[in-house]
Amino acid sequence: MSKTKKTNKKLKDIEKQYKKTATKRIFLICMVALFLLLALASRTAWIVFAKGATYKEAAYNQQTSIRVISPKRGTIYDSTGKALAVSASVDTVSINPNLISDDNKEKIARALSDIFELDYNSVYEKVASNSSFKTIIRKVENDKITQLETWMKENKITRGINIDSDSKRYYPYNNLASSLLGFCGTDNQGLYGIEYTWDDVLTGTPGRVTTLKDSKSQEIPDENEVYIPAENGSDMVLTIDYNLQSIAEKYLEQAVTENSCSRGGNVIMMDPSTGDILAMATYPDYNLNTPFEPYTEELAATWDTLSSEERSTKLGEVYKNRAVSDGYEPGSTFKILTAAIGLEENITESDVENDFYCSGSLHVGDRDIKCWKTNGAHANQTLRQALQNSCNPAFMELGARIGTRTLYKYYKAFGLFDKSGANFYGEATGNFHKEDAVTSVDLAVMSFGQRITITPLQLITAVSAVVNDGVLMQPRIVKQLINSDTNVVTNLEPVTVRQVISQETSATMRDMLKSVVTDGTGKYAAVEGYSIGGKTGTSEPLEQDQSQGYTASYIAIAPVENTQVVVLVTLYDPQGSSHEGGQIAAPVISQILSEALPYLGIPSDNAADSNTNNEDNTISVPDIKNKTAAEAKSILENAGFRTKLYISGDENEVIIKDQTPKGGSLLEKDSLICLYDSDDISARTPVIIPNLKGLTAAEARNRLKEANLNINLEGTGRVISQSPSYDTEIEEGSIIKVILKEYTSDVH
């Protein structure tokens, strides 16, 4: 073979080998390319379907800046227009970390932590985060905001820090109606009371500002900004009256203190014709503006030694609105319902002679159940007399005549098995024996209010039905909702539940309750010039929990003929000289109604024999302000008063700026008038009010005269109540209102 042919063959072999190698390489490249394409497709699919939402959100956060606008929480008003809960204007400081350059992060974190007294590390963590929005601090007062704005201006910080309007809940009257109103947390969300149960109405809807950003995280001009305004919460008008609430709280606190009620007490005032709650007070109470601080001096003294759980337990006790959340044995106040049922079922009438008999006890089942009266028996009685005497055997006999089935039918009709429907926080219901398990003993004691539990709200609602021509009204605490943006008013009208007893039975019960006050155990609740009806109540501690102690109560209606207000006073575990409702709760009723009835515009009967004050010895105090001390002294002494001067300088030159009591006050002759050359009351020396309980009028007058205090007497007999309470400080020359009643031990 020639050399040329050999060369050509070699070239062909090389070419063949090259083509073979090239084919393998192309195949390999194609396979690699296919693998990469499949991997890319898989990655893309994973990103789109598995992580799409996450990356979409991240992209949105990078491209937008969002700021939340807090709505203003609705104002809560009393029925007279006084604001009980308001939202004051404050500010919330937030940041957009993505808008803050790395060079400024540390500086901004330091400034925010210093100005608002926050932990630096915590603030820096927020500033250095990748989030588009972080809240630094809420509810900031104006002085701190001014500091921040000044710092931002000095350091030329124009973006990344937001100052937005916010609101802070504030309660102008501090402790007033605290257990009823409740309070809000730092996020303006209701935590207790009305603030909680009506939170969705009061809170409103947050708004927001959404701004687009460019690739350099700069905000795009304002025309691209989306502004969604906040919808403010609705305002709310309650049925409670500030003045009546204040009256109820004043006398409740005094009663709990004077009678050493270890578990406090409560008062409810209701309009029976509408179901409106005019006042609802619980004591002890707390300051709504500082709800997480100790509410008594005794608790404050040991606060630092308590664990967080113990503190929460203590605070939880005072947050409770016990008038609606705690059941109790109503005792003899429950006899009102038993009597009404007996009359309605025609089992008895009010004045049937010898209808009931009391020997001092009644044998029921396997035991003798005693009457409360231990020093004798009530003997033969009508139903009216049994109610006046609060006789247990008579009502046990009446309960047996009525029977369990009928009693339970009426208990249900009176609403004792259900919640009121008024949307109270923590509301409880009655606790009764199962109907088919009621024994003869259960029936007997249940007839006079023992070994069953109901809430004070349930009792006053049922009794209101008894005196409201037999019509049960749903309790009402909220009467109006007002849209704060549009001012549209929504009225929440009174709700009639059902007719429980007849008008005739209702009229008879009102008359019988009046006789309890005029001739029975309820006489200490009487109010001069007004027709008052009522019933005492004293319940024993539960067998399974003796530590609960006695419960003393009294429920009253006024006026009797056209009842406009029902008042229930309940005192838990009194440790004083008495635990009887007629002795310690009835005087509280008298005090409350003495102020409440004139305030409500209910006219006095003005009976000639009802005025027990000596009008011939009562004169009006002249107003001697802006006269010289000598002139003022002469005018007052000529009018029959004693005077005491607190002046610096000559009597003939010094001008009187103030006096105690004020001009126009009605006082007995020989009362003391203190005169001052300054109206600065902080410089005056207070005196301690002495305890007048049980004293005669003359003894009380002399005791107050020794303390340089004046007296306003009402009634005859011995002192059953005084206002203000004893052992409290008061300005020299002040007037102490003293109520006297003829003393009797026949009060239950």
pLDDT digits (tens, 9 = 90+) for 67-91: 666 788 999 999 999 999 998 877 8
Query: Tens digit of pLDDT for each residue in 243-256?
Result: 999 999 999 999 99
| Residue 500 sits in the same domain as residue 620 | no
222 occurs within a structural domain: yes
CA distance readout (Å), 269 to 176, 526, 613: 15, 17, 28
Q: What is the CATH number of the domain that holds 729?
A: 3.30.10.20
pLDDT value of position 50: 65
Mean pLDDT of the chain: 88
Q: Is 151 helix (H, G, I), strand (E, B) or coil?
A: helix
Could you read off the pLDDT of 670-681 as tens digits, one per residue? 999 999 998 888
Q: Is residue 611 over pLDDT 60?
A: no
pLDDT band (50, 70, 90) for residue 607: very low
pLDDT, position 631: 95
pLDDT in tens, 438-452: 999 999 999 999 999
- 97-139 residue pLDDT tens: 888 888 888 999 999 999 999 999 999 999 998 888 888 988 7
Please identify, among 238, 257, 290, the residue that sits at the C-terminal boundary of a domain.
238
Per-residue confidence (pLDDT) for residue 613, from 0 to 100: 45
Q: Do residues 503 and 575 share a domain?
A: yes
Lookup: tokens for 342: 């007996």
Q: Which of 200, 215, 238 is the last residue of a domain?
A: 238
Q: How far apart are CA 501 and CA 191, in angstroms?
A: 39
Q: How many structural domains does the chain have?
A: 3
Whether the CB-CB separation of 66 and 219 falls below 8 Å is answered with no
Looking at 601, 633, 666, the residue that finishes a domain is 601
The reply to whether 424 falls in a domain is: yes
SS3 content of the chain, % helix, strand, coil (to 5): 40, 25, 35
**Distance, CA of 120 to CA of 666 (rounded, Å):** 65
Backbone angles phi, psi at 365, to 5 degrees: 60, -115
**C-alpha torsion 326→327→333→337, nearest 10:** 130
| 596 & 656 share domain | no
Whether residue 736 is contained in a domain is answered as yes
Q: Are residues 435 and 581 in the same domain?
A: yes
* 573 and 635, same domain (yes or no): no
The CATH number covering residue 211 comes to 3.90.1310.10
Looking at residue 466, which CATH number applies to its domain? 3.40.710.10
- CA-nearest of 565, 559, 508, 512 to 535 is 512
Cβ atoms 260, 578 nearer than 8 A = no
Q: Is residue 638 part of a domain?
A: yes
Q: Using 50, 70 and 90 to split pLDDT, how confident is the model at 608?
A: very low
Same domain for 151 and 204, yes or no, is: yes
Residue-number span of the structural domain to which 93 is assigned: 65-238
pLDDT average, residue stretch 300-317: 92
Same domain, 109 and 212: yes
Take residue 3 and report the two structure tokens written for it.
């050399």
Element (H, E) at 5: helix 3-45
| 308 within a domain of the structure (yes/no) | no
Whether residue 58 is contained in a domain is answered as: no
Q: Which amino acid is at 119?
A: D
pLDDT at 6: 64
pLDDT, position 212: 57
pLDDT of residue 610: 40
- Whole-Å CA distances, 125 to 58, 105, 122, 129, 163: 19, 10, 5, 6, 19
Long-range contacts for 539-548 (Cβ within 8 Å, ≥24 apart)? 539/328, 539/329, 539/330, 539/331, 539/332, 539/449, 539/450, 540/329, 540/331, 540/450, 542/329, 548/263, 548/572, 548/573
Asked whether residue 123 falls in the same domain as residue 84, the answer is yes
**CB-based contact 310:471 (threshold 8 Å):** no
Regarding whether 461 and 416 lie in a shared domain, the answer is yes
Query: Is 360 contained in some domain?
Result: yes
Q: 117 and 207: one domain?
A: yes
Calpha distance 284→265 (Å, rounded): 8
Look at 613 and 630; give whichever has higher pLDDT. 630
One domain for residues 491 and 623: no
Is residue 397 located within the same domain as residue 367? yes
Query: Looking at the domain assignment, is residue 259 inside a domain?
Result: no
